[in-house]
Structure 1
Amino acid sequence: MLEELTITNYALIESLTVPFTEGLNILSGETGAGKSIIVGALSLILGGKGDPSLIRTGTEEAVVTATIRLPENGGALLYLQEKDIADDDGYIIIRRVLKRSGRGAIYVQSVPMARQDLVDLTSSLFDMHGQHSHQSLLNIEQHRKLLDSYAGITADVEELKTLFTALSSLKKEYEDLKKSEREILVEQDMLRHALREIDAADLKPGEEEDLAQEKKLLLQHENLMELFDGISGQLSSVEGGALLQLRKTREMLGKLSALTKEAEPLSGRLDNAFFEIEDIFETLGAMKEGIDFSPSRLEECEERLQTIRRLEKKYGDSIEQVWEYRQEAERKLHLYESREEEAARLEEKIASSEKKVLGKAAEISKTRKIQSQELENEILSGLKHLGMEKASFLVNVSGKETPSGRQSCGPAGMDVVEFMISPNQGEPVKPLKKIASGGELSRIMLSIKTVLADSDSISTLVFDEIDSGIGGEIGLAVGEYLARLGNSKQILCITHLASIAVRADNHIKVDKVVQGGRTFTGIKVITGEDRVTEIARMLSGDTAGTASIEHARELLKKYS
């Protein structure tokens, strides 16, 4: 749910924060006040294209920020998790920046995001209808999803997708197996060569690291010997080495201990130090003896390392990966060598999998065709209430076909679902995108969304042109449907009709004022007498008179 929209330096808006609530949010105001500017700013939050020409004159950038409360367990939360973006206790902040000097920026929770990613994120949260079109209703794939949601078969379609993925995997394995004989023979030769090469090398785990260390020691042999000799000399030199000095000191401390018992512990500690240093001296000697330097051994190490690294370059980044490649090569060879038997096994599995896929797809298709008629009737009933009495509406469910004319089945089934309409009596139905105006599309979507209110996951609907070309009883019906839909969804609606505005749970009046020679758009959440005055203005089309004030009070009393 959209909780707040803050707009800075966008078109006529210098700085504005618009609060939204659950239920039906109405934006009203005189023509040109800036209602559609607010919706246009929201379209930027939904990933709409930014137009630098809309940056307010005299400024270099426009900023739009939205605070959104996410539905629990919704697609948006999963999408954010995939992008490794953390929500803030169920809330996110989206910020869109337009720059006059060039490319703007998008941030979700202060993390930069590409515009298409923003579209993907917000498409599960918002559905916009009007001049800032984000109309999912024009997307034919959405028609299938809406029908499936209405029919209660979304889980069945997900199951079909899983079955279809398994079938595709089997077919891919079969295609790999049935490569041309020539390709197989070439690949077999390559695999056998790889096995011979890897086996001949007889690689050992950890060998590369051990050889690298040995090579390093061999290359530093002269330095090592100098260090060993230097340390040994410091410890054992007859001209003042540490061990000699310690022996003399032990003798002297022994004499001191004979004279005073207080020195006896010191004598023991010095003995321990002497024996420890003596042990170090002997260990260093053993280490020196253990280093067997020979130029030929250095050459052997280098050649062995070259062999290992050549194999790693061809077959993997480490000895472990080279062995993994070997195992996979052996598996493939075995597969090729027994490919006829394997092909027969795969053909059997594919046939069984296809049967499951087609069976599930046929079951889904049958349900779609039955439920499409129910959905047609409910939507058509809604359209008649919304002033489209002469309209015809069809949920067309047709089969997919391959280029050769055979029935085709995809991950979502064997059907193409498309909503078609004829707004006028006697005219044939046509696809929505070819025939419906903005206002008609909004009313069609209102009817559909009302029917699907409990099963549709989108939580916020935005209507910019829903009252286009209507009034009177139709306006009352549209207001009734919006209010009903507002019981389960958040609705944002721009309207000029009092019959719609009186249904608002949150009524926002948009004004335009001129100060210091500049025009500014402002808003005010109106209640009480302010709302009565605004409804009266909408009724009269001008300054509210006594009659329109009374009429406004009656409407508000009846519908709010």
Structure 2
Amino acid sequence: MLEELNVRNYALIDTLSASFERGLTILTGETGAGKSIIVGALSFLLGAKADTTVIRTGSEEASVSAVVSISEGNRDVLTWLTSRDIEAEDRRIIVRRSIKTNGRSSIYIQDVPVTRNDLEEFMALLFDLHGQHSHESLLRKESHRKFLDRFAGLEEEAAAFNRIFTDLADKRKALDGLLSNERDRDARLELLRYAVEEIDKAAVKSGESRDLEIESRRLASFEKLAGHMNAAGDAFFDGETSGLDLIRRARSSLEAAAAIDSDLGALQQRMADLYYEAEDLAEEFRGYRDGLRDEPGRLEEVEERLALLYRLRKKYGSAEAVPEEDGILAYKAEAEAEIEALSNAGENRGKLSAEIALLEKEIAQRAAALGEKRRAASLKLGERITGILTGLGMPNARFAVGVNPKVRAADPEGEAARGQGRPSSQQSLPGRQASLVIGPWGAEDVEFLISANTGEPVKDLSRIASGGELSRVMLAIKTVLAGTDSSSASFGSSASKRSADSQETLVFDEIDTGIGGEVALAVGEYLSKIGKIKQIFCVTHLASIAVRADNNLKVEKKTSGGRTATSISMLSADALRKEIARMLAGDAAGTAALAHADELLAKYRK
């Protein structure tokens, strides 16, 4: 349950802090006051994608935090926390998320940093948010399958099916690649073997071009190099007054002085160290100078070798490889692996074909089992939603979930091509007249259907439902999936029940779109009922829904110091009376509006 929400510098919000209770909490306010901004801030905390545009103008950072309590029996949430070594205190956790103007963001659950995906996964166990445009998902048939699978507790099974389907498609693609390669295998093998032989013959070594380039520069400027080294040697140790002789004399004199004044001991030791270091340096210097040789013909050999390596790099190398020869050697290793694969193509093809056959059998069995479970669940879901719609002002409505096999006309050439390994996003099971198509998520299309009037057949939801009907259908679906309808415990796996029950808070942003009158009264009554089971937040413009609230909050936009800010406050009894009057007639002080507000509050406020 959401106990506290704190927002700083988010959109029009400067600083906002609010505490919440159980039951149905209604947020009201003038259009544009910022009700949806508050829902947006909560959505940000639930893990929604966001960028720096959410930061209030003139601020460096936007942040949203919340205190969330967890019921003792909420195993899904407690298991998630335990798996990440996060400990709740008194069954409460603090969740924080912030974003800075430089794009950097931070997310913490308690004091543990987490990713946005982790945040989204965790908060989805506690909250279900229905935004202003969420009903649009009802118009997308791909969402219908997800709703049905969630209701039936089939999400994990469907995900496993999808993984196997993807594996099968990948193996078919790999087999197709082998078959294509076999057609050009001989030519490819000849090319690869020539490349390996050429690289082997060159005896390429990692980093050798770098050493050769150094040697090339030394040989090309041998006379200058030898002259510089001889001049340096004369100055350092071969000349009559060489540097090494001067250091030796200084060391001898300082030793004599230190014998007289012991305070010179440290200085004398440093001079001795300098002398020994100079002797070592002179020894290495002599070794290098005496080893210099002018080798006629060697420069030509080095340059020929560099030219060969350059040609090989151009043919087989990689611009990213450092040293450059590593790219050549990597190409050789890849070529050898491909040679082995092509040489064993027959064996690999047979192995892949056998794996594909097993996967095809498994995918067919899984598709059949998944389809059977979906068809059974579709009847229950249709009954549940129809029952809820009856209480939401649609007494003649009939909601159904169509689960229809994916089929297409027989295509012998297409089936033969797929048998040859052509990759496809769908798999087919052949039949006489048509084939059953297995897609990434099963062998059936799921579609929501509705009839709003007695005697009319059910039809595509998107073609016949009005905005108000869509809002009520979505409200029904959300409450069924959240486990708040009266029969929620009678269907679905235990895992799906736990997942539904874990969502302790439901958020509805303007669920009243397109409704009014008696329908609004029915929606208000229904929200009040589920508010006895869950914590409900609802943004509304309808007084007939607002009067049902256990807690009423008003969102206002205020201007101070030339800046506009959104605020939120709990309404007192008198303030609530005026707010209901405003919602009824646009006049918070009118006698008639206040009288009507008093009537509604007396009738529906318990």
Query: TM-score, normalised on structure 1?
Result: 0.74
Give distance in 1, aligned partners of 2:233 and 2:577: 102
Q: Would the aligned equivalents of 1:129 and 1:135 in 2 still touch at CA under 8 Å?
A: no
Partner of 1:365: 371
Partner of 2:489: none
What is the SS of the residue equivalent to 2:406?
Answer: strand
Q: Would the aligned equivalents of 1:393 and 1:420 in 2 still touch at CA under 8 Å?
A: yes
Partner of 1:502: 547
**Cα displacement string for residues 164-203 of structure 1 (whole angstroms, at most 9, x for unaligned residues):** 2222221122111101654333322322222122222222
| Residue ranges of structure 2 left out of the alignment (5+ in a row) | 50-56, 71-75, 81-92, 108-115, 412-433, 484-498
Give distance in 1, aligned partners of 2:582 and 2:261: 112
Call closer, same or farther: CA 1:294–1:282 in 2, change over 3 Å: same
Partner of 1:285: 286
Call closer, same or farther: CA 1:244–1:40 in 2, change over 3 Å: closer
2:199 maps to a residue whose letter is I
Q: Which aligned pairs between 1:92-491 and structure 2 lie closer than 5 A?
A: 92-93=97-98, 109=105, 127-128=129-130, 130=132, 135-179=136-180, 181-218=182-219, 221-222=222-223, 224-246=225-247, 274=275, 276-294=277-295, 296-313=297-314, 314-316=316-318, 317-318=320-321, 319-402=325-408, 404=411, 405-454=434-483, 455=499, 461-466=507-512, 468-472=514-518, 475-481=521-527, 484=530, 488=534, 491=537
2:466 maps to a residue whose letter is S
Structure 1 residue 315, shift from structure 2 partner: 4.0
Partner of 1:28: 28
Partner of 2:570: 525
Give distance in 2, aligned partners of 1:400 and 1:64: 50
Structure 1 residue 537, shift from structure 2 partner: 5.9
**Cα displacement string for residues 227-285 of structure 1 (whole angstroms, at most 9, x for unaligned residues):** 4223211122443112334555677678889x969799798986765554334223211
What is the SS of the residue equivalent to 1:135?
Answer: helix
Give distance in 2, aligned partners of 1:263 and 1:281: 30
Call closer, same or farther: CA 1:483–1:536 in 2, change over 3 Å: farther
2:547 maps to a residue whose letter is V
Across the aligned residues of Structure 1 and Structure 2, the Cα RMSD in angstroms comes to 4.9
Partner of 1:67: 64
Call closer, same or farther: CA 1:6–1:251 in 2, change over 3 Å: closer
Structure 1 residue 444, shift from structure 2 partner: 0.6
Give distance in 2, aligned partners of 1:289 and 1:175: 65
Give distance in 2, aligned partners of 1:256 and 1:322: 64
Give distance in 1, aligned partners of 2:268 and 2:553: 94
Q: Would the aligned equivalents of 2:144 and 2:446 in 1 still touch at CA under 8 Å?
A: yes
Call closer, same or farther: CA 1:246–1:547 in 2, change over 3 Å: closer
**Cα displacement string for residues 48-82 of structure 1 (whole angstroms, at most 9, x for unaligned residues):** 9xxxxxxxxxxx999997836599999xx9xxxxx
What is the SS of the residue equivalent to 2:184?
Answer: helix
Percent of aligned positions that are identical: 30
What is the SS of the residue equivalent to 1:394?
Answer: strand
Call closer, same or farther: CA 1:436–1:305 in 2, change over 3 Å: farther
Q: Would the aligned equivalents of 2:578 and 2:594 in 1 still touch at CA under 8 Å?
A: no
Partner of 1:114: none
Call closer, same or farther: CA 1:551–1:201 in 2, change over 3 Å: same
2:161 maps to a residue whose letter is L
Query: TM-score, normalised on structure 2?
Result: 0.69
Partner of 1:98: none
Q: Would the aligned equivalents of 2:254 and 2:268 in 1 still touch at CA under 8 Å?
A: yes
Give distance in 1, aligned partners of 2:200 and 2:598: 95
2:574 maps to a residue whose letter is E
Structure 1 residue 396, shift from structure 2 partner: 1.0
Give distance in 2, aligned partners of 1:290 and 1:487: 92
Give distance in 1, aligned partners of 2:256 and 2:59: 91
Count of residue correspondences: 510
**Cα displacement string for residues 417-456 of structure 1 (whole angstroms, at most 9, x for unaligned residues):** 1111122222222222222222111111111111111546
Structure 1 residue 348, shift from structure 2 partner: 0.7
Partner of 2:538: 492
Q: Would the aligned equivalents of 1:129 and 1:438 in 2 still touch at CA under 8 Å?
A: no
**Cα displacement string for residues 12-50 of structure 1 (whole angstroms, at most 9, x for unaligned residues):** xx9896958576442335xxx3158743896798899xx
Q: Would the aligned equivalents of 1:237 and 1:244 in 2 still touch at CA under 8 Å?
A: no
Q: Would the aligned equivalents of 2:97 and 2:106 in 1 still touch at CA under 8 Å?
A: no
Give distance in 2, aligned partners of 1:161 and 1:9: 40
Q: Would the aligned equivalents of 2:35 and 2:539 in 1 still touch at CA under 8 Å?
A: no
Q: Would the aligned equivalents of 1:315 and 1:322 in 2 still touch at CA under 8 Å?
A: yes
1:431 maps to a residue whose letter is D
Structure 1 residue 161, shift from structure 2 partner: 2.0
1:415 maps to a residue whose letter is E
| Residue ranges of structure 1 left out of the alignment (5+ in a row) | 49-59, 78-87, 96-104, 112-116
Partner of 1:90: 95
Call closer, same or farther: CA 1:341–1:198 in 2, change over 3 Å: same
Do residues 534 (structure 1) and 579 (structure 2) align? yes
Call closer, same or farther: CA 1:206–1:508 in 2, change over 3 Å: same
Call closer, same or farther: CA 1:345–1:267 in 2, change over 3 Å: closer
What is the SS of the residue equivalent to 2:328?
Answer: helix
Q: Would the aligned equivalents of 1:461 and 1:491 in 2 still touch at CA under 8 Å?
A: yes
Give distance in 2, aligned partners of 1:295 and 1:410: 73
Structure 1 residue 395, shift from structure 2 partner: 0.8
Q: Would the aligned equivalents of 1:127 and 1:135 in 2 still touch at CA under 8 Å?
A: no
Call closer, same or farther: CA 1:63–1:245 in 2, change over 3 Å: closer
Q: Would the aligned equivalents of 1:372 and 1:395 in 2 still touch at CA under 8 Å?
A: yes
Bigger shift: residues 393-402 or 61-70: 61-70
Q: Would the aligned equivalents of 2:36 and 2:509 in 1 still touch at CA under 8 Å?
A: no
Call closer, same or farther: CA 1:196–1:553 in 2, change over 3 Å: same
Call closer, same or farther: CA 1:255–1:28 in 2, change over 3 Å: closer
Give distance in 2, aligned partners of 1:392 and 1:331: 62
Give distance in 1, aligned partners of 2:280 and 2:193: 55
2:517 maps to a residue whose letter is G
2:406 maps to a residue whose letter is K
